[in-house]
Amino acid sequence: MRFRTAALALVIATPVAAAESVQFPITIPQECFELAQREGVPTVLENRYQATKAKLKLASLKNSDHLVRECRAAVHRAQEAMVAAKKSQTAGQGGHGSQAGFEAGVQALDTRSQN
């Protein structure tokens, strides 16, 4: 029952426009590789179904596991970098949108390494 409730909440909370803007395939963050292998989740998400399944799997895991905490933080940083890249791309960067996305990802990694 909890799984169905979490799945329903995820479907309701996920904006349709955000789901359509994602380009597949997506490689999961490096910090999540060990956890993904342990839990049987692919490291390259080929479609929306696999991405949703991976999100639900991560949401169902306990936060007491250090791999889960690291992976959640990495996913959060990746999402923030993607949002920042999208904002800079729509702000009139023209053909330099992929460069802005790369720079946002590097900044997220730099922030993590300083902590």
* H/E stretch holding 44: strand 44-45
pLDDT, tens only, 26-70:
999 999 999 999 999 999 999 999 999 999 999 999 999 999 999
Pairing of strands 26-27, 44-45: antiparallel
Q: Is the pLDDT of residue 17 over 50?
A: no
Q: Which structural domain range is residue 46 located in?
A: 2-114
**pLDDT at position 86, please?**
87
The DSSP annotation for 41-106 comes to --SEE-SHHHHHHHHHHHHHS-TTSHHHHHHHHHHHHHHHHHHHHHHHIIIIIGGGHHHHHHHHHH
pLDDT at 91: 78
When divided into structural domains, the chain yields a total of 1
DSSP state of 2: H
pLDDT of residue 89: 83
| Total-model pTM | 0.63
